[in-house]
Amino acid sequence: MSMAALLHRHLFGVKGDVRDPICYVDEQTVLYPAGHNTVIFNLEQRIQRFLPGTEKTEEITAIAVSPNKKFVAVAEKSDKGVITVFDLHSLKRRRLLTASDSMSKEFVSLAFSPDSKLLMAQGGAPDWTLTLWTWEKAKFVASMKTAATPNSVMYQCSFSPTDNNLITVTGNGVFKQLKLVDSNLKLLPNALNKREPQNYLCHAWCSDERVVVGTDTGDLLVVDGVELKAFIPRAPSDSTSIESVIWY
């Protein structure tokens, strides 16, 4: 006797504890995590397609769509954090990645390089290791522990929009700009090294070298290399933190 199979028809809700959970694939299509699935939703046709979670993993912790809009990387929590790269046209799995030198069970942030060839993942506690791969070949490129102390928390990693070798990471008491040189991550000087550390919750590149940073106290800082170009404090009546920044 054959067993009937249950198929997804529609998923409601968004898993909101994922960093930047909603991504545009094109003007009519958005992608987001819902439960243990990644949903690809066509806004005009009102049709959903699904990328299922990996068996024996706990939950989705981060997603990123490649700049060429051909691939999506989905990070999931497990005994060793895993990342699956899917082809957005065929919906097939293209690559499975994990960081062998990390002790963490999860990745908290993902980013593709501007040419979509490198994938970067910020690992979670306890070691907060940043790892880069040439993802199509599953080839390890470089790694670095980014947290200031074991008790720090890291939130986000990103590439410069035009340079595969320039990277920014932010966390509690951590703002670092890195350069990839000969498969090594080199720490660059930056304007915030001279300031009292803050809880930097998010950031966004707004040019080749300029980065806007948001804090838990609602302040915005504009960093251009070794210069702090602007400090925009929160309004005295506003106690809201800045959780996400998007450059338009």
State the DSSP string of 5-37. -----------TTSBS--EEEETTEEEEEETTE
CA–CA separation, 71 and 145 (whole Å): 27
Q: What is the pTM (predicted TM-score) of this model?
A: 0.92
Cα–chain-centroid distance for residue 35? 18
Query: With the C-alpha atoms ordered 188, 189, 195, 196, is the resulting torsion angle positive or negative?
Result: positive
What pLDDT digit, counting tens, does each position of 89-137 carry?
A: 999 999 999 988 888 999 999 999 999 999 999 999 999 999 999 999 9
Please report, rounded to a whole number, the percentage of residues in the chain having pLDDT higher than 90.
79
CA–CA separation, 161 and 115 (whole Å): 9
CB 184 within 8 A of CB 165: no
CB 192 within 8 A of CB 148: no
DSSP state of 152: -
**Per-residue CA distances from 170 to 46, 86, 197, 223, 231 (Å):** 36, 27, 11, 13, 17
What pLDDT digit, counting tens, does each position of 151-164 carry?
A: 889 999 999 999 99
Please report, rounded to a whole number, the percentage of residues in the chain having pLDDT higher than 70.
96
